[in-house]
């Protein structure tokens, strides 16, 4: 590696505009798409953080909001509400101008999508250099860094070739080089290997590992692939626009129930996975209690929801189903103000 190329360590948080050690913070993101009179709630309050050098992958069924979320964290789509903080920008990007976002993104994020393309009339080397010029990297750095990256990514011998004479994997490596020319803190991607065959995808995934380990760049990508998911430090599972849970890298995408840790979000919501509810006949109501520091949810069927003449009321503080006439919750002592719903 040329000595004056400053590859970020990824853990310098001195210029971070947020309080913690994270490099990216997402708070309560809501995204509603409006098409005519139809509204689609793609994200319903998503919060998470990415740590320096972390490999965080986003999974979830089609339509769960993954593409919307990465587009928002990359500063390419504005959320309806919520905040996104990037390391190095003291301001919430959702309140920043397009100009501020483009400028900050140069140093912060390399964005790579499935159909990332090169300019067809330029060589690989020219494409990478052009990305550097657009990002206003100093010209003597561009030359050195382009050489370093093309060697690092294993395509130095393809530097004079144009897109149409490259294989899918070589094109992808070249596209990755264009995103790395600015020395980003994180790579953000949506299915970056989705268009490649299994073997080529594997070699690109090896490359993401190498970028993460040797250049200290964090990775945050969407994937449907088991191949990808086993390489993560942490996996966020989206479902219907919320974070259903988190997984460590020991997962099988078809057996997520075995590895899922449920997440309580910033609104204290905890989503119960549908298969679990189906196993106990889809109850709509639960009583909640704490036993030995465990939360115990007991399903209540509609027939025993109001099983005596005293109307039951749910304590808004602890969720206890209060069956006495008392105005105080017999579980936590809070004042009960609201009737339980049918
Ligand atoms: P995923 O990437 O998990 O498949 P998306 O983020 O693409 O999910 O979509 C989430 C939801 O938002 C889907 O119901 C989708 O139809 C809707 N959606 C996505 N983009 C748009 C758009 N531009 N206009 C209207 N609805 C959209």
Phi, psi of 194 (to 5 degrees): -65, -25
* DSSP structure string for 55-113: EEEEE--TTSSHHHHHHHHTTSS--SEEEEEETT-SS-GGGS-HHHHHHHHHHHEEEEE
pLDDT of residue 172: 92
Whole-number percent of the chain with pLDDT over 70: 87
Run of H or E residues at 304:
helix 302-305
In the predicted structure, residue 21 carries a pLDDT above the cut 90: no
Residue 142, token pair as written in the block:
């561009």
Q: Do 146 and 182 form a contact (C-beta atoms < 8 A)? A: no
| CATH code given to domain 24-247 | 3.40.50.300
Give the atom of ligand 1 at the shortest distance from the alpha carbon of 69: 6
Packed helices 168-180 and 139-152: angle between N→C axes, nearest 10 degrees: 140
> Binning pLDDT at 50, 70 and 90, where does residue 196 land?
confident
Distance of alpha carbon 317 from alpha carbon 265, whole angstroms: 16
Check if the beta carbon of residue 35 is closer than 8 Å to that of residue 190.
no
Q: Considering only CA atoms, which residue is closest to atom 26 of ligand 1?
A: 33
Q: Which helix (H) or strand (E) holds 288?
A: strand 285-291
- What residue has token string 């919307």? 68
pLDDT band at 9 (very low <50, low <70, confident <90, very high): very low
Cα separation of 187 and 180, whole Å? 8
| Confidence band of 67 (pLDDT split at 50, 70, 90) | very high
Give 286's strand partners. Answer: 299
Q: What is the mean pLDDT of the chain?
A: 84
Closest CA to 159 of 126, 127, 124: 124
> In a 3-state reduction of DSSP, which class is residue 294?
strand
Contact 43, 9 (CB under 8 A): no
pLDDT at 308: 52
302 pLDDT exceeds 50?
yes
**97 or 193, higher pLDDT:** 97
Give distance in angstroms: CA of 241 to centre of ligand 1: 10
Q: How many CA atoms lie within 13 A of 37 on its CB side?
A: 0
Residues framing ligand 1 (Cβ under 6 A)? 33, 35, 40, 42, 60, 62-68
- Over range 192-206, report the average pLDDT: 86
Q: How many CB atoms lie within 10 A of CB 30?
A: 15
Q: Which of 61, 65, 244 to mutate to test the pocket of ligand 1 (most atoms within 8 A of CB)?
A: 65
Pocket test for ligand 1, best of 42, 67, 114, 225 (most atoms within 8 A of CB): 42
Ligand 1, pocket-test mutation among 34, 38, 62, 63, most atoms within 8 A of CB: 63
Residue located via tokens 């549908």: 274
pTM over 0.95: no
257 Cα distance to chain centroid: 20
Exposure string for 113-123, b = 16+ CB within 10 A, e = fewer: beebebeeeeb
Q: Please tell me the distance from the alpha carbon of residue 236 to that of residue 265, in angstroms, as a whole number.
A: 12
Residue having the nearest C-alpha atom to atom 11 of ligand 1: 42
Mean pLDDT for 89-107 is 90
Instruction: Summarize pLDDT for 35-54 with one digit per residue, the tens.
Output: 998 999 999 999 999 999 99
131: pLDDT strictly greater than 90? yes
Q: Is the pLDDT of residue 195 over 90?
A: no
Rg of the Cα trace of the chain?
Answer: 24
Q: How far is CA 73 from CA 14, 214, 275, in A?
A: 21, 24, 30
Q: What share of the chain is helix, strand, coil (3-state, %, to 5)?
A: 30, 25, 45
Mean pLDDT value of segment 8-36: 70
The Cα-based distances of 190 to 34, 85, 144, 240, 267 in angstroms read 23, 19, 29, 18, 27
* Structural tokens at position 222: 């969407």
Domains of the chain, by residue range, sit at: 24-247, 283-342
């Amino acid at each position: 590696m040329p000595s004056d190329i400053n590859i970020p360590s990824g853990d310098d948080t001195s210029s971070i505009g947020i309080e913690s050690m994270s490099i990216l913070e997402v708070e309560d993101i809501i995204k509603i798409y409006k098409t005519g009179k139809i509204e689609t709630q793609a994200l319903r309050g998503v919060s998470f953080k990415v740590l320096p050098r972390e490999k965080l992958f986003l999974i979830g069924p089609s339509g769960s909001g993954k593409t919307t979320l990465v587009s928002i964290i990359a500063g390419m789509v504005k959320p309806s509400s919520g905040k996104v903080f990037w390391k190095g920008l003291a301001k919430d990007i959702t309140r920043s101008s397009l100009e501020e976002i483009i400028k900050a993104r140069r140093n912060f994020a390399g964005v790579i999508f499935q159909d990332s393309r090169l300019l067809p009339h330029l060589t690989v080397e020219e494409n990478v250099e052009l990305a550097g010029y657009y990002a206003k990297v100093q010209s003597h750095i561009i030359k050195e860094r382009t050489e370093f990256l093309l060697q690092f990514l294993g395509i130095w011998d393809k530097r004079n070739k144009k897109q149409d004479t490259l294989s899918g994997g070589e094109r992808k490596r070249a596209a990755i080089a264009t995103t790395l020319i600015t020395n980003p803190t994180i790579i953000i991607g949506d299915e970056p290997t989705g268009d490649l065959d299994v073997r080529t995808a594997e070699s690109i995934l090896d490359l993401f590992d190498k970028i993460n380990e040797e250049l200290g760049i964090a990775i945050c990508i969407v994937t449907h692939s088991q191949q990808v998911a086993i390489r993560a430090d942490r996996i966020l599972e989206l479902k219907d626009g919320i974070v259903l849970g988190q997984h460590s890298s020991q997962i099988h995408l078809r057996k997520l129930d075995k590895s899922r840790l449920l997440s309580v979000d910033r609104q204290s919501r905890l989503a119960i996975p549908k298969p679990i509810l189906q196993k106990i006949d889809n109850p709509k109501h639960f009583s909640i209690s704490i036993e030995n520091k465990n939360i115990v949810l007991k399903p209540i069927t509609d027939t025993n929801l109001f099983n005596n003449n005293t109307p039951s009321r749910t304590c808004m503080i602890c969720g206890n189903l209060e069956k006495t006439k008392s105005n105080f919750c017999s579980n936590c002592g809070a004042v009960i103000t609201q009737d339980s719903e049918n």
